[in-house]
């Protein structure tokens, strides 16, 4: 349990949170471009929606991990 509360683990979790946040924003931009295209590729649009959902859930997971770690330290 102590290993999950170590500072390097928290730092890596913060780095991954920021990385997945950028990935989520990039995927949202791709969805926006797909929706504004004249001809839609529905498979590509679905794949981009799936990436938005998955990376958003990863952001949520790392945010919960960081808040839980901070709550246990304090």
- Indicate whether this model's pTM tops 0.85: no
Looking at residue 2, what is its pLDDT? 58
Domain ranges of the chain: 3-73
Contacts of 63 (CB under 8 A, 6+ apart): 17
Structure confidence at residue 4 (pLDDT)? 62
Q: What is the pLDDT along the chain (74 residues), one digit of tens a residue?
A: 556 667 888 899 999 999 999 999 999 999 999 999 999 999 999 999 999 999 999 999 999 999 988 888 76
Report yes or no: 46 and 31 within 8 Å, Cβ to Cβ.
no
pLDDT at residue number 26: 97
The dihedral sign for the CA sequence 16, 22, 27, 31: positive
DSSP string, 33-47: HHHTSSS--HHHHHH
């Amino acid at each position: 349990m102590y290993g999950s509360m170590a500072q390097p683990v928290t730092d890596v979790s913060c780095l991954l949170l920021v990385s997945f946040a950028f990935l989520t924003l990039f995927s949202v931009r791709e969805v926006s471009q797909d929706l504004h295209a004249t001809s839609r590729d529905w498979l590509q649009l679905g794949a981009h929606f799936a990436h938005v959902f998955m990376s958003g859930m990863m952001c949520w997971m790392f945010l919960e991990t960081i808040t839980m770690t901070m709550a246990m330290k304090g």
